[in-house]
Structure 1
Amino acid sequence: MAAVIAAMVGCGTPPPAPKPPPVPDQFRFQSGWVTAPADAAPRGEAWWTRFDDAELDRLMNEAGEANGTVEQALARVRQAEAQWRLAGAADKPVLKATAGAERARADGVTATVWQGSLLASWQPDLWGRVALERQAGRADLRASEADVASVRLAVRLELARAYLRLRVLDRQRELSEQTLGAYERSLTLTRNQYEAGLVARSDVTQAEVQAQSVRAGLHDLTLQRALYEHTIAVLAGRAPVTGTLAPVAVLPDVPAVPATVPSTLLVHRPDVAVARERLEAASARAGSARRAWLPDITISAAAGVRSTRWSDLFEAPARVWSVGPQLAATLFDAGARQATADAADAATDEQAAAWRLSVLTAMKEVDDALAGLQALDAKATDQARLVALAEENERVVTNRYRSGLVSFLEVAVAQNLTLQSRRAALDVTAERLDASLRLMAALGGGWEG
């Protein structure tokens, strides 16, 4: 018997814990990163305040609470908490009460049997199986809580992107209106010169086409802005009809990234925390599955009354009781327990791979964002120089046109070059803002901590 128990205990040994994924001391596009600790919880930094925009602050706070996706994640937390409490009740005593009456026939006699009883039972957790299930439930609860942070981060990132793009559209509209004003002034100048017989009718047509193309493009900006307003309203948990935002032509500044940021921030990413907790839950369940070979011991006690006459139900002869332990073990199940244990081990391996992948993905996204910010900073400097050159070229060509030295075609080319360079500069600013958002998200919400 001792040998059988020893063999069962051996079968119940859990698999070794998976090794944590590596975290580098340094990233490719930024030095000074330090090795991350093995465990950390998601952070709650209000990273969007770095853009110093009161309207964005208000919307982000709404998205963190009223958003439908966030509400679903919060409901999953309550479910996980209930499952954790359920796992914790498995090794606690249970008290049941029964009462009833039945018609029975014995020895040729048919009679009504009245009975009532109280049953107390307890199945002690001798092998730690329930403790492991409780550990798994607690890990699932922590994973659900981290998932709320992950959902909030994703929703807020999407909202921040939509909001900043809307502000970029406001700036594009302002730029288009300024350009349209310049084109209309050029059109007036060309008409005056045409009426004076200095230029051909084709120059007037060219100026009209140029102004009209910008005027038509304003409608596209209006439509895109309305769509972004609708997206922002839904992300904030409101109906699109209530999502009107007043135009603001000033873009937020691109937040300055510190020279060095600790890699401890990587383990604060909610998705990394979720993967880590899922791995712990799977590992605990694998250990619990391997303890299925061990016998269960139940200690029970019962007391009650039983009589064929209601009036005698509470007399001494009608009283019955029992107490004692019970040992139960499955001797043969055609490999069902082994299959369950193998499936649990495979689930643990799956979660370990998911954890390692989440860390590698985090490192990639951080390096991607850092690389993007470096390249875009240099591009913004060159683009600003290009805008200055295009504006200077436009001034020179316009003066030459007024002097009758060149045709309006050269003016139109110069003006279009200026407009394109200004739009490109605005696009670079939008890309820099988006890269800052991606870096904040890749670090789990900003770089403080």
Structure 2
Amino acid sequence: MKFSRITLTMGSLVLLSACSLAPVHETPDMSVADRLGSASTETPPAREIAWQDFYQNPQLKTLISKALSNNHDLRTAALRVEQVRAQYRIREADRFPPLDGNAAISRQRSPAAMSFVNNSQVVDQYSVGVGIASWEIDIFGRIRNLSEQALQEFFASQSARDSVQLSLIAEVADTFYSWHSDTAQLKLAENTRDARAESYQLIQQRFDNGLASELELRQAETLLHSARVDVARFQQQLNQRFTALQLLVAETLDSSDWQADETLLDFAELPADLDSETLLQRPDVIEAEYRLKAANANIGAVRAEFFPRISLTSSLGLLGTSPANMLNTSARSWQISPQLTVPIIDWGRNQAQLDVAELEREILIVQYQQVLEQAFKEVHDELQAQQTLDDQLHALQDLTLASKRGLELAELRYEQGLDSYLEVLDAQRTVLDAQQSEISVKLARTRNQLTLYKAMGGGLMTH
């Protein structure tokens, strides 16, 4: 009966432990504009567009699937989540009294001089029972706040893993489209090399027939060798890019199975504008807020160090001199040992710990605002770049057409003897520069879309 009352008292103490000294969490004020623009009502948010729907190229979809299954960074992040989850389970278990079972046998001989009957005695003792070795009754929420801190760290690790996934998908896409661009550059360089080799042969024939100067011959030869250098350079870039793809997917790929296809470079439509509230759904922003919540819980745990601690040791079982007499009702035994610890002098240790915890929270507030500002900058820059990249591409397409026509006229005037071969060389360089720039801007425009998709939090949804 007494033990029942003790148990009831312990239960009441557990209920009292609902007290928490942690500060109330408040999301820091957003230091960016309220809106990035007028939110689109027709296009779904990027985070609701599955990556399989956003990326249209089937080869890229295959590569992303392989990367999500095999990539070492993503696997490490997933294992980190499980590790933090286990740490949270440890902290959560500390909130409840650990119950241990025990059994013991002892034999002790007492000398005659220590015996009341002046005879030596051998005493056997058998015991069996259950008990609490040591348990802190969490009156001021220290353990509960440590558990809350571990929980928020677990949530933060999940968001960190999501950030790794978004970055991985974007990196695979960027490497794939860069490989595609290098393929186009290599093809252009090879076509340029072949055209210049043909021009060199024609100039060689004209030189042999006394119709062209050696200067014109060497100029044509120089352009040919320059084209050969470009072919080797883009071939090297192409090889390195394919190697990077293999590292991202953590799998050996056969280059003959992967061919660039210019007809499959489209993306799903993204909203032209969005509310700045959308940025709060990005994994890196969510992670920063979870870390801030964990810091608040840590402050609560540190504040509890200023108050007394009550720990409890107890046991309930049977005790006897033989296994048989342990079955008697009189063999029951129990023990309860509460202990109160009151901090008196710690030479400023607890205050210093609290200062550290509060400064850590202030640092995390600043970091949260930095993450949010960076998210705003990424989205804002990419939204602004959309139109300018389209304008650049259209201008370069017009420049390419005009420069090709200029090359045709330069070649015609050279054949008629109206201009020197230098004019043809300048026209060839102009055409090549325009074509190379057009390929580069196409890649920049493609990167703009995939970066915007990532910056808006796209890449977590799947089907």
On the 8 A contact 2:129/2:316 being kept in 1, the answer is: yes
Map of 1:332 onto structure 2 = 344
Map of 1:6 onto structure 2 = none
The C-alpha deviation readout for 1:203-231, integer Å capped at 9, x for no partner, is 23322332232123212212111111111
Map of 2:77 onto structure 1 = 73
Between the aligned partners of 1:214 and 1:193, the Cα distance in structure 2 is: 22
Tell whether 2:444 aligns with 1:436: no
Map of 2:13 onto structure 1 = none
| SS of residue matched to 1:118 | strand
| Cα distance, 1:190 vs structure 2 | 2.1
Map of 1:351 onto structure 2 = 364
| SS of residue matched to 2:432 | helix
CA RMSD of aligned residues (A): 3.2
Alignment match of 1:96 (pick from 75, 97, 100): 100
Runs of 4+ in 1 over 6 A off after TM superposition: none
Map of 2:87 onto structure 1 = 83
Between the aligned partners of 2:109 and 2:256, the Cα distance in structure 1 is: 80
Partner amino acid, structure 1, of 2:33: P
| SS of residue matched to 1:98 | strand
Between the aligned partners of 2:50 and 2:190, the Cα distance in structure 1 is: 35
Tell whether 2:39 aligns with 1:26: no
Between the aligned partners of 1:301 and 1:378, the Cα distance in structure 2 is: 79
Map of 1:14 onto structure 2 = 22
The C-alpha deviation readout for 1:351-406, integer Å capped at 9, x for no partner, is 22211111111112222222333332222222222222211110110001111222
Alpha-carbon spacing, 1:52–1:254, altered in 2? closer, same or farther (3 Å): closer
Could you state the TM-score of these two structures normalised by the residue count of structure 1?
Answer: 0.84
| Cα distance, 1:100 vs structure 2 | 2.9
Equivalence map 1:50-61=2 (5 Å)? 50-61=54-65
Q: Which runs of 5+ in 2 are unaligned?
A: 1-16, 41-45, 116-120
Alignment match of 2:236 (pick from 223, 233, 238): 223
Between the aligned partners of 1:352 and 1:141, the Cα distance in structure 2 is: 19
Map of 2:12 onto structure 1 = none
Between the aligned partners of 2:50 and 2:267, the Cα distance in structure 1 is: 16
Alignment match of 1:117 (pick from 121, 124, 129): 129
Between the aligned partners of 1:69 and 1:44, the Cα distance in structure 2 is: 24
On the 8 A contact 2:270/2:453 being kept in 1, the answer is: no
Q: Which range moved further: 249-258 or 45-54?
A: 249-258
The C-alpha deviation readout for 1:382-439, integer Å capped at 9, x for no partner, is 2222222211110110001111222222211211111111111111111222222222
Q: Which runs of 5+ in 1 are unaligned?
A: 1-8, 35-41
Between the aligned partners of 1:257 and 1:402, the Cα distance in structure 2 is: 52
Alpha-carbon spacing, 1:296–1:142, altered in 2? closer, same or farther (3 Å): same
On the 8 A contact 1:125/1:131 being kept in 2, the answer is: yes
Equivalence map 1:43-442=2 (5 Å)? 43=47, 45-47=49-51, 49-102=53-106, 104=108, 107=114, 113-120=125-132, 124-239=137-252, 246-248=258-260, 250=262, 252-253=265-266, 257-298=270-311, 301-307=314-320, 319-323=332-336, 326-334=338-346, 335-442=348-455
Between the aligned partners of 1:58 and 1:249, the Cα distance in structure 2 is: 14
Between the aligned partners of 1:273 and 1:210, the Cα distance in structure 2 is: 55
Partner amino acid, structure 1, of 2:63: L
Alpha-carbon spacing, 1:373–1:286, altered in 2? closer, same or farther (3 Å): same
Alpha-carbon spacing, 1:398–1:195, altered in 2? closer, same or farther (3 Å): same
Q: Which range moved further: 192-201 or 397-406?
A: 192-201
Partner amino acid, structure 1, of 2:131: L
On the 8 A contact 1:171/1:249 being kept in 2, the answer is: no
- Determine what percentage of the aligned residue pairs are the same residue: 26
Aligned residue-pair number: 428
Between the aligned partners of 1:142 and 1:222, the Cα distance in structure 2 is: 45
On the 8 A contact 1:369/1:439 being kept in 2, the answer is: yes
| SS of residue matched to 1:293 | coil
| Cα distance, 1:126 vs structure 2 | 3.7
Between the aligned partners of 1:159 and 1:97, the Cα distance in structure 2 is: 55
Alpha-carbon spacing, 1:220–1:359, altered in 2? closer, same or farther (3 Å): same
On the 8 A contact 1:230/1:243 being kept in 2, the answer is: no
